[in-house]
Amino acid sequence: MQTIQSDSYPIFFENSIQELVNFVERGNYSRLFILTDENTGEFCLPAIQTALAHLDKTDIIEVNAGEESKNLDFCMGIWKMLIDFGADRKALMINVGGGVITDMGGFVASTYKRGIDFVQVPTTLLAQVDASVGGKTGVDLDGVKNIIGTFTQPKAVFMDVEFLKTLPPRQILSGLAEMLKHGLIVDRAYWDDLKNSDLSLPSVELVHRSVEIKNEVVIEDPHEKGIRKALNLGHTIGHAIETYSLLNDDNPLTHGEAIAAGMVCEAYLSAQKIGLPNEELREISSVFDKLYPRYTLNEAMFPALLEIMQNDKKNENGNINCTLLTRIGQYSIDNVCTPDEICDSLRYYAA
Ligand code: NAD
Ligand code: ZN
C-alpha cells in the first residue's frame, strides 16, 4: 500500500507504528507528548507506548472522550501540562484519536510556543478519511463548531486500519459516509467498489483510495476557494440535520448519519436542477437506505432546518448554496437553491 505524499508530509498506511518510531528517531525531538482520550488511551495507546518505550522520553496527556472536550478550556489544560512538563520548541505532539483529538491536538501544537511539530495517528474511520488530511485544526466555542483554529499541516500521518477493530459500528458508518461522498463527487468506479464491498470494516485499500481523493482535492485548493467545495456534498442539508438532532434528540445523529441524509436530499436536488439521471438518484437513495437508518423528518421541522441553513456561512441572501452532482462521479459547486426547493428535497427524503 503506497505512502501518499501530501503537499509537505507523508501519509503512511503500512507498518504505521514502526514508521512512527522511525520518524521520531530521525527527528531528534526533546520530548514526546501523546494526546489521547479515554477510549484511545485504552485501545490504541498501549501499542504506541510500547513501541516508543525504548526512547524513554514520552508523556501522556489524556482528555475525556467526545466533542464536549473540543474547546478552549481543554486546550488551556493541555497547554498548562506542556508547560509543567517543560515542553520546549523541539517537543513533538503525537495525537492519537478521532477527529476531536486530531483537531484539538493540532490546534494546541500549532499555537504552543508559536508552533511545535505534531503528527496525527487517526483512530476513527472519520479521522482517517477526513479529519487528519487537509491541515485544518481547531476547537469549538459557544456551541459553534471549529470557530477557533488554524490551517497547519502535520509533519506526518500514520494510518492503521487495525485500530478500527475496536470502533463501535455507528462510528464506522459515520466515516463511511465521507468515503461514499468521495466516490460520488469524483470517482464512479470507487463508488461501485464501495457498493460491492463488505463495509462493516472497510479494507485498507478502500481507506487508501478515500484518503487519496481527499488529498488530491485539498492539495489543489488548500484554503477552500474553489474545488474544495466539492467536499461539501451532503453537508449543506446534512449539517442542518446534524445541528437540529444535536439540539432536539436524546441520542443525536452522528456526523456521518446526518450527511448521509443530506446526500440523499442533495441527490434529489441534483436530479431536479442539474440533470442527475433519475436512475442514479434511485441508486444513491437505495445505497444509503440500506446502510443508514432513516431519520424521521416532518414538515414542522422544516422552518428550523431552513433557518440553520440560512445562518450557515456558506450561504447568502436567504438562498442556500449546495454542491450537487451532474452524474455519479461528477460534482458541481455553487448551486443556489431556494427554500422551496430545499423543502421538496426534505419531503423526498421523508417519503
Ligand atoms: P471522536 O474523536 O469524538 O471519536 C468518536 C468516538 O470514538 C470517541 O468516543 C472516541 O473516544 C472513540 N474512539 C476513537 N478511536 C477509537 C478506537 N480505535 N476504538 C474505540 N473507540 C475509539 O470523533 P470523530 O467522529 O472521529 O471526529 C469528529 C470530529 O472531527 C469533529 O469534531 C469534527 O469537527 C472533526 N472533523 C474535522 C475535519 C477536519 O478537516 N479537520 C474533518 C471532519 C471532521
Ligand atoms: Zn463531513
Report residue 221's pLDDT band, with 50, 70 and 90 as the boundaries. confident
Look up residue 165 and give its amino acid.
Answer: K
Specify the ligand 1 atom closest to the Cα of 106: 41
Question: What kind and span of H or E run contains 77?
Answer: helix 72-84
CA–centroid distance, residue 280 to ligand 1 (Å):
31
**CB contact at 8 A, 261 and 292:** yes
Predicted confidence at residue 299, as pLDDT, reads 96
Predicted confidence at residue 222, as pLDDT, reads 77
Instruction: Tell me the average pLDDT across 256-274.
Output: 98
Report residue 1's pLDDT band, with 50, 70 and 90 as the boundaries. confident
Residue 41 Cβ contacting ligand 1 at under 6 Å: no
CA–centroid distance, residue 131 to ligand 2 (Å):
9
Ligand nearest to the CA of 179: 2
Residue 101 Cβ contacting ligand 1 at under 6 Å: yes
pLDDT tens readout for residues 124-134: 999 999 999 99
Specify the ligand 1 atom closest to the Cα of 145: 34
**Grid cell at residue 117:** 511539530
Q: Name the pTM for this structure.
A: 0.96
Task: Check whether 313 has a pLDDT greater than 80.
Answer: no
CA 13 to chain centre: 18
Residue 19 Cβ contacting ligand 1 at under 6 Å: no
Report residue 42's pLDDT band, with 50, 70 and 90 as the boundaries. very high
- Give the whole-angstrom CA distance, residue 155 versus residue 133: 11
CA–centroid distance, residue 259 to ligand 2 (Å):
7
CATH classification for the domain delimited by 172-350, as one of 1.20.1090.10, 2.60.120.650, 2.70.170.10, 3.40.50.9100: 1.20.1090.10
Residue 120 Cβ contacting ligand 1 at under 6 Å: no
> For the range 314-322, what are the long-range contacts, defined as Cβ-Cβ under 8 Å and sequence gap of 24 or more?
314/232, 314/236, 315/236, 320/236, 321/236, 322/232, 322/236, 322/237, 322/266, 322/269
Instruction: Tell me the average pLDDT across 194-199.
Output: 95
Ligand nearest to the CA of 175: 1
Task: Check whether 226 has a pLDDT greater than 90.
Answer: no
Tell me the CATH architecture of domain 4-166: 3-Layer(aba) Sandwich (3.40)
Residue 257 Cβ contacting ligand 1 at under 6 Å: no
pLDDT tens readout for residues 59-92: 999 999 999 999 999 999 999 999 999 999 999 9
Residue 65 Cβ contacting ligand 1 at under 6 Å: yes
The DSSP secondary structure of 136-204, one letter per residue, reads EEEEEETTEEEEEEEE---S-EE--GGGGGGS-HHHHHHHHHHHHHHHHHH-HHHHHHHHTS--SS--H
* Ranges of each domain in the chain: 4-166, 172-350
ipTM associated with this complex? 0.99
Residue 192 Cβ contacting ligand 1 at under 6 Å: no
Ligand nearest to the CA of 39: 1
Ligand nearest to the CA of 256: 2
pLDDT tens readout for residues 151-170: 999 999 999 999 999 999 99
